[in-house]
Amino acid sequence: MARRPLIQALNRALLSLGLLCSLTACQPEPSAAVGAKAAAPPPSLQGLRLSGEEAQSFARELEAIERGGLLSNDENERKLRELQLRTAPSSLERLQVLALRGAAAARSHDESLAQQMLVELQAWPEGPWSSLAQLAADVVRGEILVLKGQRREALKTLQALPAFSGSNAPKDLLIRCYQFQMHMRGDAGDFDGAVEAGHEALKLADQMGQSWRRALTLSMLSYAYAQAQQLDQALQFTEQALAEAAKDPDPALMYQIHNSLAIVLSERGQMELALKASQKTQAYARQTGSDKLLALALANYADLLLKRGSYSQAQQVAEEALPLALKAKDPTSEAVARYNIGFAKISQKRVDEGRREVMAAIATDERLGSVGDAALGWLELGEYLERAGDLPGAVKAYHQHRRWDDQALRAETRKAMLETQARYDDDKRAKEIDLLGRDNSLKAEQLRSRDLQIKLWAAMGGCVVLSSILLGLAYQRIRKTNHALARSNEALKHQSERDPLTGLANRRYFQAAIKRQPEDGEFSGTLFLIDIDHFKRINDNYGHAAGDSVLVEVAKRLRSALREVDLVVRWGGEEFLILVAATEAPRPVAARQAPRGGGETTWGGPAFVSHESADAKALAQRLLDQIASQPIVHGRETIRVTASIGFACLPIMPHGLVPSWERAIDLVDTAMYLAKAHGRNKAYGIESVDAKDEPQLQQLTAQMESSWREGQISLQTLQGPVLEPTV
């Protein structure tokens, strides 16, 4: 839980704090205009309003702030305000200070001050520094968007950056821009793009010839490779960073590099070496005197101890980190410290105490708008509770994870749809402009034809024929254009209703299909919800490309087990939804009781068997067998895959209840999480629920396991195939 948010917080603190601070060390030459504005990157520094000695002193003070990484935000804000008082309006020095103050304010969660600096940069007057001021404003705007949790929008802020490539713009500014872009692309899952941006930053750092700047860039690039699961390259770049840092070391720089080294070694499974690197990270943090960096180092160390199983020591270290995070007013490290305290306590069987700590951490993520981190917190809470034997608590945590994950997915889907709609609108406007141009051409032809009529009465008949031909051609062109536009619209609609990875229908298609059903019609059939077991572990162990291969192959196996008329939907992440329509109405039989156990059993209250129930049970078993039948091959890797399934026949017996689709999905979702909590590689099916209306159904679903034991819900359980170890 700790590694990713903490290393990103540290990297952003070190990469953009000095976002223009050492421009005075550069002497760029005049160049052609760059970007949308005619103004070129700054032609020279001779226009500075400070004298030579004052300018050099100013540059040294800014570089000291940059190298220190703004270890004390309040203290450095005071220093930057004092520096700003020494600068003249519209000077390069003023621009440098505004850019630094804006980025630092955003990282300190002071949105008001960050917005103030952004406004001043955006209002920069025309002149030699105007294009540079707009680039600095783009970075401050990106920092503000990151503060709000809008990372996709933050990535778009540096779209003008390629226009400065090869120009005489200050290299340290371009390095910071590429480093910011590298981390935003990594956050968005574009690992190849992150590595590419990191190499651009490294080229510029090589040209500047500053060992500390090159070491810092190498360390950040190593983390980009670790994100892409290219761990050998990540370790290689970390070792290069250590060698480069030894030429010009300082505690903040050595802290950053050893923190990256600890993460890379942990990902490689070299836990003891990772712990030693993390201990060095703590030592360098103490040398800096920064409470924030020490809190980050301790929280990362606690995470490594949890992974090793040293729960008591992990709790002690995390409890040492928490007051430091509170003192530094750093909500990110505060949340991670609370997560690690909670997980350590749960692992020591102090479940209630640990749960309270984790809930406090999740509340902090919610307050910060970190939907993805909150969803991950619920997932890890479920895993720790499951290992501690609190199965009902684990099921509730998995439920919350799914809801938060759905919220994040809906947000991403909404953004993607808006982008798709924007592209569609642009295409539509382009076609309309083309049609308008053709219409104008047609009108011009008509005017020329009219003039020809006046001058050549004798050729009137020929002109009429010619005009008719022209009108016919124009009409045919318009018809072709309209047909092309209709095909484009249909293709866009098809793409928006299909999952691009697996080719299955997506949620949008499912929702549209549900809306098309008659309001007075009652669906009769079976609803399945399938979740691939330990999918996060597959991504962590084999990489995201292997995870994609698993999703594609599971989709094929599901499709092969079903009829053409059955609906298979990629519900989100590693979940699939199947809708199978019934062919006959169910018929009730006598109730029966059976003990709970493996294989296929039914126990609890009044049971009902129908053709649909028997078919659903057989299909669920077939799906379990089909998914786990053969290992999935990805490159040289052989991956064993199982799934957990929840399913229910509709209408719900014994009262023939027809719930809303939302309630039906919630029902099978709960059954699926019950299958996960009871060992995975299982299918749990709802045979009957003693509920006459939706409120009663909702109440019983919320407490499914206890309702099952009390006989109010009848379940059937199926066991997937026992997997043999791969050779």
Which of 122, 206, 134, 129 is closest to 171 using CA atoms?
206
Place of tokens 């499951």: 386
Same domain, 397 and 323: yes
pLDDT at 667: 93
Phi, psi of 651, deg, nearest 5: -65, 165
pLDDT in tens, 621-679: 999 999 998 999 998 899 999 999 999 999 999 988 989 888 999 999 999 999 999 99
User: Which structure tokens are listed for 555?
Assistant: 């989709």
Q: Looking at the domain assignment, is residue 643 inside a domain?
A: yes
Q: Is pLDDT at 9 greater than 50 in this prediction?
A: no
pLDDT at 623: 95
Same domain, 662 and 698: yes
Same domain, 131 and 213: no
Higher pLDDT, 384 or 175: 384
Please state the rounded mean pLDDT for residues 422-430.
55
Same domain, 375 and 458: no
Q: Looking at the domain assignment, is residue 727 inside a domain?
A: no
Same domain, 554 and 702: yes
pLDDT at 187: 72
pLDDT at 319: 92
In contact, 23 and 170? CB cutoff 8 Å: yes
Same domain, 336 and 272: no
Query: 96-105, 278-287, 339-348, 469-478 — which is least confidently predicted?
Result: 469-478
Phi, psi of 639, deg, nearest 5: -115, 120
CA 162 to chain centre: 24
Q: Looking at the domain assignment, is residue 347 inside a domain?
A: yes
Query: 1-15, 304-318, 348-362 — which is least confidently predicted?
Result: 1-15
Q: Is pLDDT at 438 greater than 70 in this prediction?
A: no
Higher pLDDT, 421 or 511: 511
Return d(Cα 33, Cα 23) in angstroms, integer. Answer: 19
pLDDT at 577: 96
Please state the rounded mean pLDDT for residues 20-43.
36
C-alpha torsion 11→16→21→26, nearest 10: 90
Confidence label for 323 from pLDDT (cuts 50, 70 and 90): very high
pLDDT in tens, 237-287: 999 989 988 988 888 888 888 998 988 888 888 889 989 999 999 998 898
Q: Looking at the domain assignment, is residue 26 inside a domain?
A: yes
pLDDT at 530: 96
Please state the rounded mean pLDDT for residues 486-512.
78
Q: Looking at the domain assignment, is residue 294 inside a domain?
A: yes
Angle at 265 between CA 264 and CA 266, to 5 degrees: 90
Same domain, 253 and 357: no
Max avg pLDDT among 267-271, 396-400, 474-478, 535-539: 535-539
Count of beta carbons in the 10 Å neighbourhood of residue 682: 24
Return d(Cα 415, Cα 145) in angstroms, integer. Answer: 15
Same domain, 130 and 256: no
pLDDT at 632: 93
Picking from 470, 496, 522, the residue at the C-terminal end of a domain is 496
Return d(Cα 164, Cα 41) in angstroms, integer. Answer: 8
Same domain, 641 and 688: yes
Domain harbouring 224, CATH code: 1.25.40.10
Same domain, 577 and 687: yes
User: Which structure tokens are listed for 295?
Assistant: 């809190």
C-alpha torsion 246→302→335→702, nearest 10: 150
Looking at the chain, the whole-number percentage of residues with pLDDT higher than 90 is 23
532 contacts: CB under 8 Å, gap ≥ 6? 538, 550, 551, 554, 574, 575, 627, 641, 642, 643
Return d(Cα 474, Cα 584) in angstroms, integer. Answer: 56
pLDDT in tens, 543-579: 889 999 999 999 999 999 899 889 999 998 899 999 9
Higher pLDDT, 486 or 31: 486
In contact, 647 and 616? CB cutoff 8 Å: yes
Picking from 448, 467, 496, the residue at the C-terminal end of a domain is 496
Q: Looking at the domain assignment, is residue 725 inside a domain?
A: no
pLDDT in tens, 132-158: 888 889 988 888 888 776 777 877 887
Picking from 472, 496, 520, the residue at the C-terminal end of a domain is 496
Please state the rounded mean pLDDT for residues 55-74.
70
Confidence label for 408 from pLDDT (cuts 50, 70 and 90): low
What residues make up the domain containing 554? 507-719
pLDDT at 519: 59
Order of all β-strands in the sheet with 575-581: 567-572, 575-581, 525-532, 643-653, 682-689, 713-719, 601-603
pLDDT at 572: 85
Query: 217-231, 307-321, 366-380, 448-462 — which is least confidently predicted?
Result: 448-462
Which of 261, 338, 258, 263 is closest to 295 using CA atoms?
338
In contact, 517 and 661? CB cutoff 8 Å: no
Tell me the residue type at 157.
T
Query: How many domains is the chain built from?
Result: 4
pLDDT at 165: 72
pLDDT at 72: 55
Please state the rounded mean pLDDT for residues 46-52.
52
Higher pLDDT, 713 or 606: 713
Return d(Cα 264, Cα 242) in angstroms, integer. Answer: 14
CB burial of residue 109 (10 Å; 0-12, 13-18, 19+): middle
pLDDT at 602: 36
Query: 513-527, 681-695, 703-717 — which is least confidently predicted?
Result: 513-527
Which of 371, 341, 374 is closest to 356 using CA atoms?
341
Helix axis angle for 460-496 and 391-455, nearest 10°, is: 180
Q: Is pLDDT at 491 greater than 80 in this prediction?
A: no
CA 254 to chain centre: 29
Return d(Cα 389, Cα 394) in angstroms, integer. Answer: 9
- pTM comes to 0.56
Confidence label for 69 from pLDDT (cuts 50, 70 and 90): low
Query: 74-83, 145-154, 210-219 — which is least confidently predicted?
Result: 145-154
Q: Looking at the domain assignment, is residue 724 inside a domain?
A: no
Q: Looking at the domain assignment, is residue 679 inside a domain?
A: yes
Query: 449-458, 498-507, 606-615 — which is least confidently predicted?
Result: 606-615
Query: 7-16, 83-92, 209-218, 333-342 — which is least confidently predicted?
Result: 7-16
Q: Is pLDDT at 289 greater than 70 in this prediction?
A: yes
Same domain, 519 and 486: no
Same domain, 562 and 700: yes
Please state the rounded mean pLDDT for residues 699-710.
89
Domain harbouring 713, CATH code: 3.30.70.270
